[in-house]
Amino acid sequence: AQSVSQHNHHVILSEAASLELGCNYSYGGTVNLFWYVQYPGQHLQLLLKYFSGDPLVKGIKGFEAEFIKSKFSFNLRKPSVQWSDTAEYFCAVNDRTGKLIFGQGTTLQVKP
Amino acid sequence: DTGVSQNPRHKITKRGQNVTFRCDPISEHNRLYWYRQTLGQGPEFLTYFQNEAQLEKSRLLSDRFSAERPKGSFSTLEIQRTEQGDSAMYLCASRPSGTSQETQYFGPGTRLLVL
């Protein structure tokens, strides 16, 4: 069965610090990988997604993620975080039906 | 607003009561998904529809839960004889049928509290 693991449950950073959130998945076949973000009081929104091709994908708001097949990883990065990046971040993989399997989520708190 | 909408946004009920939630997907999205999210966890899949057909149900969906999408547009999720363990955020998402690469768009969720 597919599963997704996010290593960091709660991350606290100061503004301008660099961010890297870990995500590992287990799935033997072709994967589609996603990062979703949930800002306080808002619904889940797509940050970025990977299907194939260039393993470094760029998303909205300066986020990027790198797919490393050999490590079954899809880590999220941002060079310089802002207070407005405070949110909960979810990594997910989907199966052939399209349903999403999410990790536990990482709460990011950015101090101004 | 052409996004996914869910009603009600909040529901407080007493144990043993029945509750029903509604989801209105983005128009022309054939696929509709229901998820449940509890505190400190990521959303967990419950069920999904392709048009009006319910194609998959998770083992999380006990026989007290039923979902419908009668005309292939909006969907309802009913929980009968609610239990305190049903307290959670219930999320709805929709997407075009297409390939598995299509993005799912989420609604704001219905937060259920069972007393």
Task: Per-residue pLDDT tens, chain B, 115 aa: give them.
Answer: 579 999 999 999 999 999 999 999 999 899 999 999 998 899 999 999 999 999 999 988 889 999 999 988 999 999 999 999 999 999 999 998 877 778 899 999 999 999 9
Q: Which residues of B touch A101 (CB under 8 A)?
A: 45
- List the single residue in B33, B43, B103 with the smallest CB-CB distance to A49: B103
Is A44 close to B91, i.e. CB distance below 8 A? yes
User: Which residues, including other chains, have CB under 8 Å from residue A9's CB and lie 6 or more apart?
Assistant: A104, A105, A106, A107, B40
Q: A74-94 burial, b for 16+ CB within 10 Å, e for fewer?
A: bbbebeebeeebbbbbbbbbb
d(CA A31, CA A23): 13
Is A44 close to B106, i.e. CB distance below 8 A? yes
Is A99 close to B41, i.e. CB distance below 8 A? no
Q: Which residues of A touch B33 (CB under 8 A)?
A: 98-100
